[in-house]
Amino acid sequence: MDQPRQEQFVNELVENIRRDVVRQIMTGRIPSEWDGHELRQLLADRFTQSASLSDDMRNKRSKRRRDYENTVIVNNL
């Protein structure tokens, strides 16, 4: 995937999750007593849930997952 498509993917993913959580806040589904602690956890859970949609990345023994983990370490990501 080239750089513009990577940027587009990241922007769309973040925007979709942001829009969904804000919609839930506005409709009262998220408790008003929640502050940054619970909201951070909710966002982390949403991103984790999104990442779990990738079969290649869910399997920690897959070559793609191992390559990913190695690149994160080597490139200090």
- Position 13 confidence tier, pLDDT thresholds 50, 70, 90: very high
What is residue 58's predicted lDDT score, i.e. its pLDDT? 86
What's the pLDDT band for 47 if we cut at 50, 70, 90?
Answer: very high
Query: How far is residue 34's CA from residue 17's CA, in Å, rounded to a whole number?
Result: 18
pTM of the model: 0.85
Q: Which residues of 25-52 are buried (b: 16+ CB within 10 A; e: fewer)?
A: eeeeebeeeeeeeeeeebeeebeeeeee
Higher pLDDT, 36 or 58: 36
CB proximity list for 59: less than 8 A, separation 6 or greater: 65
Q: How far apart are CA 18 and CA 28, in angstroms?
A: 16
Question: Is it the case that residue 55 has pLDDT exceeding 90?
Answer: no
